[in-house]
Structure formats: structure tokens, C-alpha cells
Amino acid sequence: MEDALFLARVQFGLNIGFHILFPTLTIALGWFLLGFRIAYQRTRDPLWLATYRLWLKVFALSFAMGVVSGVVMSFQFGTNWPRFMTTVGAIAGPLLSFEVLTAFFLEATFLGVMLFGMNRVPDWLHITATALVAVGTTVSAFWILALNSWMHTPAGHVLDGHQWIAADWWAVIFNPSFPYRLAHMLIASGLTASFVIAGLSAWRLLRSGLDRGARRTLRAGLLVAAGLIPVQILVGDLHGLNTLDHQPAKIAAMEALWYTERGAPLVLLAIPNAAERRNDYAIELPYGLSLILKHDRYARIQGLDAFAPDHPPVVPLFFAFRLMVGIGMLMLVVAWTGAWVTREQRVPAPWLLWGFSAFTFAGWVATLSGWIVTEVGRQPWLVTGVLRTSQAVGDISGAELGASLTGYVLTYATLFLAYMVVITHLAGEGAEPAAAKEKQ
Amino acid sequence: MIDLALAFMVLMGVSVLAYVVLDGYDLGVGMLMPAASEEEQSIMVASIGPFWDANETWLVLGIGILLAAFPLAHGVVLGALYLPVVAMLVGLMFRGVAFELRVKALGWHRQLWNWLFWAGSFLASFAQGFMLGRYVTGFESGFGYWLFSVLVGASLCGGYVLLGATWLILKTEGALQRKAIAWARWGLLWVALGVALVSLATPLASETVRSKWFDFPRTFGLMLLPAATLAAGYWLWWAATRVRGGGGGDWQPYAAAVTIFTLAFCGLAYSLYPYLVIDRLTIWDAATHPSGLKALMVGTALVLPFIAGYTVLSYRIFRGKASKKLYD
């Protein structure tokens, strides 16, 4: 049973981790596309159209990756966690279905119009289609994060027999952590997309420094990123304080605070020792944690001892959180530097372009780290206080899980490799040659 | 008071049927790829380009309703079908991504993605039929039951080829259309053989289905289904011949194929009702809490008309013959 639980978690984590990469990119990329499309409408500059088409291809490919891995998700909710649906299905089921009904069909249908309909429909309809796809990706995030947040901070539910049902749908959807999580995730998507756009444009400029399309999109990506990062730091902080209120064990694990303390230090770096429940080689900032979390250096912070043994594992949370924050800080430096060095149409020096390229997928790394923090941080619960992960697992055999896991790993590795090759190739070709061809 | 479990059974049935006749044609086109020249392949892919994403969404909706409205059955059915489900998903993943990638690839890469598009379409189709076979026989183990499922898998491939070929009759012209007519005829024969064998084997494989089929005098009413299926098959053959002779009505073969699928689906629904898992779980056993069903129903009733509306809009925008140029 232990093995099956472990494999079920690995498999689900792998799937959802692979899946989340693509929506994270497409949610905000959809809005970028709307911007490019409107810019073309206003200026009639063929370079904007070419830019739109180039990034539409990246969008379509990323969207397809999201769709196919999302179909897998819809099966695994039931196969890997059957007791999840039989216990809280009356709440989770409608939320998931609303996502399919309000978002998936909208996105899929109007993406077809975006891709293939430009010469078949009037401009206003093509712009509307572009807008609806962007709205669809965002609505999709709304529903899935409502469900995810409810699993972290459930509200508005009552027990009826052996099933949890919604007593108040408003409270279920707008549960305590939802506004923070939604904002944090949407901004994460904005940052992911803007770094991908900036990074791939820099990649193009390294090959052809004269490409005006790449100069435009490099600047656009860097400016959006430079504007969003400070907001993200603020929202992330608020999200953390919200977590302290509702899931204090998660915060204690993130900060590797083993014992409740007054004037708790901020552990900057250490190797948490789970066996002896202490930190080895710790570098600490005295009173730091109390100051950050309660704005009072002598404040009392609950440590893991207050929750033992029902608290999440410390090691993955501690390191994933530091990775997310570290990358976020580097992204701030890169984006602000970038905004400065691209001012007044300047093309940055090659070493700077290499730097932007290196940060192309920084948003993915930060987002995945953040999701590991929040999801592993919910353990041992699947729905906090309502359902334990170990209670939700099904009776799929370890052998079946192992075989299918191998299949998924091979499939994902192949698809991911192909995806990376194609988008770097697309970006390397750039938009301007296509625009020039169109003029002839 | 409406029976919500029954309402969702109907809704799930409609989603699955919509999935089968819609994604069926694009899976069928995928399976027909090796039979066409490179230029024809581009037209074939262009004919399904604007639609395949939305077509596949019907599967997500069907599975979503199963998950949301009948969570008990979702666990039992998909648990029992775990490995074929994985095979289907791997097939769907490869073909979905291959669809995007084959356009952007050159040389042997393009050949590889073409091959994966074909193989993925075939794997997904066969796995779906195989699952249907396992499902109808209540997941019994034993050689005969497995053979039966393989037979259903092969028949569904034939059915999707038929849908794909008739779709191409509607969306193409000239030499490719004539090829598609030949494919459709082969597909029809394949389906006729498959349906005949499956119809003979099903009452042997399942006691419950046997008693439902041979329940006189209802059986006589039930005979309408095979009779109508035969008529639809004749219609398809006749309409294909007419298109070949330049008589027009290019939409008729596809409509006839959809009719065949709808009739087969009704037969299946009649055979299984009221079971979701044959002999084990009825729709009422498997239904989620009424409060969940109610919320689902409100959402569905509000949104489904919009989905229907813009789906029709999309098919109107892309009506007419497909052209080779994908991004026009």
C-alpha cells in the first residue's frame, strides 16, 4: 500500500508538474497575442502581423501540449485518487466541470479561428477570437485555482452522511486563500510568458542583431517583466501571510522552524536534519522570522513541534522555497537591467543577450518550485482537515502504476524535447523574414 | 422533480457520442494518412486543423461528467481499464502534438511526425474500441473476452476510418475525393463485418444483454435498430456513388456515417441501461450527492447553449473545401 501511494503521488506529481508548464505560459501569452493583434490593427505594420503569427505558433504548440497533458489529468483524478471524488466530489466535480464548460471549449474553438480564420472572418471577429482565447485561459485558471485553494483552505462545506457538500458555493469558491493564490499564479504566468518572449527574442538577436521584430518583443517582454516583478513580490508576501493564518505548519516547514520560539531567527541557508529535527550548518538572521511574519522581533512563531507528526516534510519545502525566491530576485535584476539597456531602441551587448536567453525559462523553474512548496506543504492532507492523501489512494496495483509511469515518462521526455527544439527553432528564424516575404 | 442522475446519464451519452462522431473523423483522417501522397496529406490535415482541439474537448467533458456526476463509476471503470486508458492517452498525446509539429518539421523529421500522427491515431482508436469491449463485458477476464475486445477495437478503427473518409468526401475535391470514396467503401464493409460479428458475440458474452435483446415482444420493436442501420449503410453507399458520379450531396456520406454511429450508440445504451457498470452499478448507485448534481446542472444548462452556438459558428466559418495552405 505504501508503495502504491508513493507511486500514485509520483505519477500524479509528474503529470501535473508537466502539465502546469504549458498553461503557465499560455495564460499570459494569450494576452500578449491580443496586444500584438491590436497593435497590428492600429498600425497596419506587417511586422506586427508577423510577430503575432510567430508567437501564435508558439502559443498553439504550447496549447496542444497543455491539452494533451490535461486530458491525462482528467483521467488521473479518478484513477489515482478515487476516494477524493467519492468524498468531496460534490464540490470538486462541479468546479472541474465548470472549467471544461466555460473555458476549454471556448479556447479550443476560437484558437481554430485565430490560427486558420484570418482571411475568412472580418478583423473584428478575429480580434474577438484572440480576446476570447485569452479570456478562456484566464477563466480556466480561475476555476482550477478555486478548487486547488479550496483543498488548501476549505470553506463553505458541510458533511452529509459520508460526503462533503457545498453549503455555500460563494464561500467554497472565494475561500480564504483563493484571491492570493489566483493573483500569485496569474502574475507568475505573466512573468513566465514575458521571460520566454524576451529570452527567445534575445536568442534571435544573437543570430541576427538587425531583426526589428525581435528588438520590439525583447523590449516588450522585459518591460512587462520589470513592471510585474515588484507586484509579484508584494503579492507573494501577502500570500505567505495568508498561509501563516490558515496553514501555519506549511510556513514552519518552509522556514525549517523545528520548535516554537519567541524572536525566531530567519534561517537563510541550512541543511535541515529531519531525523534529529534540527538544522545543520545553519546561517541565521536573528529575530528575522518574527520580524518578517509578525513585524515584531519578539513575536512567538509556532514551530513544527506544535503540529507533529502531522506536518509536511521540511527538506523539499525549505529548498524549493529558497529556489523560488532566489530565482525571483535574479529575475528582478535581469528584468530591470534589461529595461535599462534596451531604452531608446538600443540593442544590448551580446553578453547581455546571452544573459536574457539564459533566463528564458526562469519563470517555469520559479513556478514549479512554488507549486512544490504549496502542494507538498499541504501534506499529509489532500484537503486540509477533511481528507488525507493516504485515504484517497485507489487500488491500482504497484505494477500497473509502475508500467504506466514508465510510459508517461518516456512520452513526456520525447514530447518535451521536440517542443523545445521547435520553439527555439521558430524563435531563431524570427518574425521579420516572414514579414519581408509577405511584402513581396 | 427531474431525475438528475438520468439527466446526467443522457448528457454524458450526448458528450460521448459527440466525441465519437467528431474526434472520430479526425482520428480516421489520421489513420488514412499513409494511403495518401504528401500533397494530399497537407490537405487532409488542413481539413481537420481548425476542429481537432475542440473535438477532443468532448472527451474531457464526457470524462468530466463521469467524474463529477458518477464518481463511483469513474473509479471502477477507469480503474479496470487503467492500462488501455494509458495507451489511449499516449496515442492521443503523440498525435495531438505531432499535428502541430509535422507542419514545422522538415525532411525525415516530418516523416517521423507523420508516422507518429498515424500511429497515435491508430493506437488511440484501437484502445477506445478495446475499452468498449472490456466495458460491455463487465471487465470479465478470460481469452474469449479479450478476443471480443480486440474485435471491438478493430471494428472501431474501421468505424473511425469510415468517418474520416466521409469527412474527406465533404471537405475535399478531385482526385483526393475519389480516393476518399474508395476508402469510405472499404470502411463501410469493414464496419459492416465488425458490427455483425460484435452483434453476434455480445449476447453470447453477456447474460444481461441477452435477456434485454430477447425479451419478446419488445424484440420486434428493437429490430428497428438493425433495420435502420442497414438503411443508413445503404444510404452511405448510394450517396458515395452519387458524389463519384458528380451528383453532389457531398455532405450525405458523412451524415450517413453519423447516423450509423448514432444508431449503434442507441443500441448500446438500450443494452446497458440502467447500468453504468454492467450488473454492478446503476446510474443511481454511482451518482454523486444531489447537491453536487444540482450545481452541475445549473452550470451546464447555462453554458451548453453557448458552446453549441460557437461550435456552429466555427463550422460555418470553415465550411467548404479545405485548401492545402494551412494558415490562410
Q: Which of B27, B303, B304, B328 to mutate to probe the A interface, most A CBs <10 Å?
A: B303
Cβ-contact A182, A141 below 8 angstroms = yes
In this prediction, residues B78-99 reach a mean pLDDT of: 84
Q: Which of B100, B296, B304 sits opposite A60 (nearest CB)?
A: B100
Grid coordinates in use for B190?
A: 469493414
pLDDT tens-digit profile of B242-285? Answer: 888 888 888 888 999 999 989 988 888 888 878 878 777 888 88
Name the A residues in 64-83 with CB < 8 Å from any B CB: 64-65, 67-72, 74-75, 77-79, 82
- Mean pLDDT, chain B, whole residue set: 85
Contact (CB<8Å) B69/A67: no
pLDDT at B168: 92
Q: Is the pLDDT of residue B238 over 60?
A: yes
Distance from CA of B84 to the nearest CA of A (A): 10
Of A100, A109, A407, the CB nearest to B310: A109
Task: With beta carbons under 8 A apart, name residues in chain A contacting B90.
Answer: 407-408, 411
Res A440: pLDDT: 46
Beta carbons of B5 and B287 less than 8 angstroms apart: yes
CB A22 within 8 A of CB A62: yes
Using CB atoms, pick whichever of A65, A112, A165 lies closest to residue B291.
A165
Q: Does B328 have pLDDT greater than 50?
A: no
pLDDT, tens digit, 9 for 90 and up, residues B204-235: 877 777 887 777 777 777 788 888 888 998 99
Residue A68, min C-alpha distance to chain B (Å): 5
User: B123 contacts in A (CB within 8 Å)?
Assistant: none
* 3-state SS string for chain A: CHHHHHHHHHHHHHHHHHHHHHHHHHHHHHHHHHHHHHHHHHHCCHHHHHHHHHHHHHHHHHHHHHHHHHHHHHHHHHHHCHHHHHHHHHHHHHHHHHHHHHHHHHHHHHHHHHHHCCCCCCHHHHHHHHHHHHHHHHHHHHHHHHHHHHHHCCCCEEEECCEEEECCHHHHHCCCCHHHHHHHHHHHHHHHHHHHHHHHHHHHHHHCCCCHHHHHHHHHHHHHHHHHHHHHHHHHHHHHHHHHHHCHHHHHHHCCCCCCEECCCEEEEEEEECCCCEEEEEEEECCHHHHHHHCCCCCEECCHHHCCCCCCCHHHHHHHHHHHHHHHHHHHHHHHHHHHHCHHHCCCCHHHHHHHHHCCCHHHHHHHHHHHHHHHCCCCEEECCCEEHHHHCCCCCHHHHHHHHHHHHHHHHHHHHHHHHHHHHHHHHCCHHHHHHHHC
Checking if the pLDDT of B298 tops 70, the result is yes
Residue-range domain boundaries for chain A:
2-260+302-439
Among B75, B311, B314, the residue with its CB nearest the CB of A85 is B75
| Residue in B86, B97, B328 nearest the CB of A407 | B86
pLDDT at position A144 is 94
pLDDT value for A437: 61
- pLDDT over 70 at B1, yes or no: no
* Contact criterion met (CB < 8 Å) for A396 and B79: yes
B56–A67 CB contact, under 8 Å: yes
For residue A57, which residues of chain B lie inside 8 Å, CB to CB?
Answer: 104
Sort out which chain A residues have CB atoms less than 8 A from B304's CB and list them.
Answer: 101
Q: How would you write the pLDDT of chain A (440 residues) with one tens digit per residue?
A: 467 788 888 888 999 999 999 999 999 999 999 999 999 999 998 889 889 988 998 998 899 888 888 888 878 887 788 888 888 888 988 898 899 889 888 998 899 889 888 888 899 999 999 999 999 999 999 999 999 999 999 998 888 888 888 888 999 999 999 999 999 999 999 999 999 999 999 999 888 878 888 889 999 999 999 999 999 999 999 998 899 888 888 988 888 888 888 888 888 888 888 888 888 888 888 888 888 888 888 888 888 888 878 888 988 999 999 999 999 999 999 999 999 998 888 888 889 999 999 999 999 999 999 999 999 999 888 898 888 888 888 777 778 788 888 888 888 898 899 889 888 888 888 777 666 665 54
Nearest to A97 among B53, B299, B328 (CB): B299
Mark which residues 305-334 of A lie under 8 Å from B by CB: none
B57–A100 C-beta distance less than 8 A:
yes
What is the signed CA dihedral for B197, B198, B204, B208, rounded to 10 degrees?
A: -160
Q: Is A405 on the interface with B (CB under 8 A)?
A: no
Distance from CA of A431 to the nearest CA of B (A): 15
Q: Are A108 and B53 a contacting pair at CB < 8 A?
A: yes
Q: What is the pLDDT of residue A263?
A: 83
**CA distance, residue A434 to nearest chain B CA (Å):** 13
CA distance A216 to chain B (A): 24
Q: Which residues of B touch A120 (CB under 8 A)?
A: 317-318, 328
pLDDT of residue B262: 92
Residues of B with Cβ-Cβ distance to A391 under 8 angstroms: none
* Res. B309: pLDDT tops 70: yes
Q: How confident is the model at residue B19 (pLDDT cuts 50, 70, 90)?
A: very high
Spell out which residues of chain B touch residue A71, defining contact as CB-CB under 8 Å.
56, 59-60, 89, 92-93
CB-CB: which of A90, A105, A411 is closest to B291?
Answer: A90
> Among B85, B105, B288, whose Cβ lies nearest the Cβ of A93?
B288
* pLDDT for residue A38: 95
Each domain of chain B, given as residue ranges in start order, spans: 12-215+268-294
Mean pLDDT of the region B72-79? 81
CA–CA distances in Å: residue A20 to residues A7, A23, B155: 20, 6, 36
Q: What percent of chain B has pLDDT over 90?
A: 19
